């Protein structure tokens, strides 16, 4: 199959809006008290869109893929180098590994940063980029290549892309401190499925729980085809198995704060020196020790990405109707539903509920599905609480 054809042309691109905050009436109550006759007109005086909310456009020369229609900023490849972003601080401070292995501190060209995107940041760890070198040895990122895979979550109406272009995600949880929350695992598996990344379930801190009691949960994910590994970063249990999963692959470690992501990486590659911290005894929530998402090279080959802990995971760009397809065991039963827009909650002749009654769908997974589709992000039940029912 030949390469996609590209042609140069002028395109109008949309930039971030100048100001988005609405201009609100600050003394609305006083205005009503002063003139009750005109109170019903006050709503019409309030600006419904922010001042400067009209989109700003600019004409640029771009390379347009004739097959997909995707437009990318044209750069002079003769004066640019290719590289991969290892880490980003803010939106304009990136560490890039060049093709020759050297590390270059790069800023991001304004046209790249201000192009309107759904993402919160134009450049993230794992991005493949083209950058130009300055006389002082620093660089400027001129273009970001299309992302092969992404791990994302929603953040204030934007996509927070955690990392790009990785093969697999190790979703780390713990038996205790903090509590094991299957619903959060399921949210991560939905996010990895949406982003084209293989999800791996890792249950850490085996010394704080009962391994035998975890078997129903382990079997649930294993039967769905997900790889599951049980580990203890302190004793080394399961570390060899985890290390073998990472060799030659590009892997992101994701999960709550305090579950032991950094400790596992230190165990996988001694001397790595990732910072760790204890879990709060009062809140059972971990303390953030990893502040920046960063790609780290493994001695045995491959890359790992340590990420800051996530206490909540809002799915991004996933419609309610899509969630059923991201739960693998739901797919054979969806076609059995009597109604095409079945919510799988109260309808008659629901295929998902039939699968649940037959024991083909786990009640635990069904509970996670209901919480995701209802938008209930804050109430993540623990595995221990579930077993007490």
pLDDT value of residue 65? 59
pLDDT digits (tens, 9 = 90+) for 275-287: 554 544 444 444 4
- What CA–CA distances, in Å, run from 277 to 233, 236, 260? 13, 18, 9
Q: Give the pLDDT band (50/70/90) at residue 114.
A: confident
Instruction: List, for residues 134-188, the tens digit of each pLDDT value.
Output: 999 999 999 999 899 999 887 666 778 889 999 999 999 999 888 898 988 999 9
Query: Is a pLDDT exceeding 90 seen at residue 358?
Result: yes
The helix (H) or strand (E) run that includes residue 229 is strand 227-230
Please tell me the predicted confidence (pLDDT) of residue 91.
Answer: 75
Q: CB of 138 within 8 A of CB of 107? A: yes
Domains of the chain (ranges; CATH) run: 6-71 (no CATH), 72-159 (2.40.50.140), 163-306 (3.40.50.300), 320-387 (1.10.40.50)
Contact residues for 113 (Cβ-Cβ < 8 A; gap 6+): 91, 92, 122, 123
pLDDT at residue 51, as a whole number: 47
CA 306 to chain centroid: 13
CA angle (305 as vertex; 146, 184 as ends), nearest 5:
95
Cross-strand bridge partners of residue 304: 251, 296
User: Exposed, middle or buried by CB within 10 Å (0-12, 13-18, 19+), for 253?
Assistant: buried
User: What confidence score (pLDDT) does residue 117 get?
Assistant: 58
Give the whole-angstrom CA distance, residue 333 versus residue 355.
Answer: 7
Which of 286, 288, 255 has its CA nearest to residue 182? 255
User: Strand 103-108 vs strand 139-144: parallel, antiparallel, or unpaired?
Assistant: parallel
Distances (CA, A) of 185 to 43, 199, 316: 45, 10, 16
- Of residues 329, 322, 382, the one with CA closest to residue 356: 329
Cis peptide before 49 (omega within 30 of 0): no
The residue with tokens 């001129």 is 142
Per-position DSSP letters for 6-63, written without gaps between them: EEEEEEEEEE--S--S----TTHHHHHHH-GGGGGGHHHHS-SS-TT-SPEEEEEEEE
Read off the pTM. 0.78
Which of the listed ranges 129-133, 213-217, 258-262, 317-321 does the model predict with the highest average pLDDT? Answer: 129-133
Q: Look up residue 68 and give its DSSP letter.
A: T
């Amino acid at each position: 199959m030949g390469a996609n054809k590209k042609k140069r042309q002028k395109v109008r691109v949309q930039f971030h809006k100048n100001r988005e905050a609405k201009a609100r009436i600050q003394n609305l109550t006083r205005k009503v008290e002063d003139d009750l006759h005109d109170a019903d007109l006050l709503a019409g005086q309030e600006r419904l869109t922010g001042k400067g909310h009209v989109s700003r456009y600019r004409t640029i020369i771009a390379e347009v893929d004739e097959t997909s229609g995707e437009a990318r900023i044209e750069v002079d490849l003769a004066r640019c180098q290719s590289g991969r972003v290892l880490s980003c601080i803010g939106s304009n401070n990136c560490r890039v590994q060049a093709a020759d292995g050297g590390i270059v501190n790069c800023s991001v060209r304004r046209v790249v940063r201000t192009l309107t995107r759904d993402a919160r940041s134009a450049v993230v760890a794992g991005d493949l980029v083209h950058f130009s070198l300055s006389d002082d040895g620093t660089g400027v990122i001129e273009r970001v290549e299309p992302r092969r895979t992404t791990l994302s979550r929603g953040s204030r109406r934007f996509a927070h892309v955690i990392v790009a272009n990785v093969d697999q995600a190790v979703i780390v949880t713990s038996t205790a401190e903090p509590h094991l929350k299957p619903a959060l695992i399921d949210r991560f598996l939905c996010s990895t499925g949406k982003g084209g990344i293989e999800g791996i379930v890792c249950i850490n801190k085996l010394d704080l729980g009962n391994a035998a009691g975890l078997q129903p949960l382990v079997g649930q994910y294993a039967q769905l085809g997900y790889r599951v590994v049980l580990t203890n970063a302190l004793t080394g249990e399961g570390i060899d198995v985890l290390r073998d999963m990472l060799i030659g692959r590009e892997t992101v470690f994701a999960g709550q704060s305090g579950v032991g992501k950094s400790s596992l990486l230190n165990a996988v590659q001694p001397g790595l020196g990732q910072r760790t911290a204890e879990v709060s005894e009062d809140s059972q929530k971990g303390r953030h020790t990893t502040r920046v998402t960063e790609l780290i090279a493994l001695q045995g080959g491959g890359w790992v990405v340590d990420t800051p802990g996530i206490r909540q995971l809002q799915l991004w760009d996933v419609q309610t109707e899509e969630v059923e397809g991201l739960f693998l065991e739901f797919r054979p039963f969806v076609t059995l539903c009597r109604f095409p827009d079945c919510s799988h909650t109260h309808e008659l002749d629901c295929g998902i509920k039939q699968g649940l009654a037959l024991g083909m769908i786990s009640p635990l997974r069904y509970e996670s599905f209901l919480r995701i589709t209802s938008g209930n992000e804050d109430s993540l039940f623990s595995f221990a609480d579930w077993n007490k029912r």
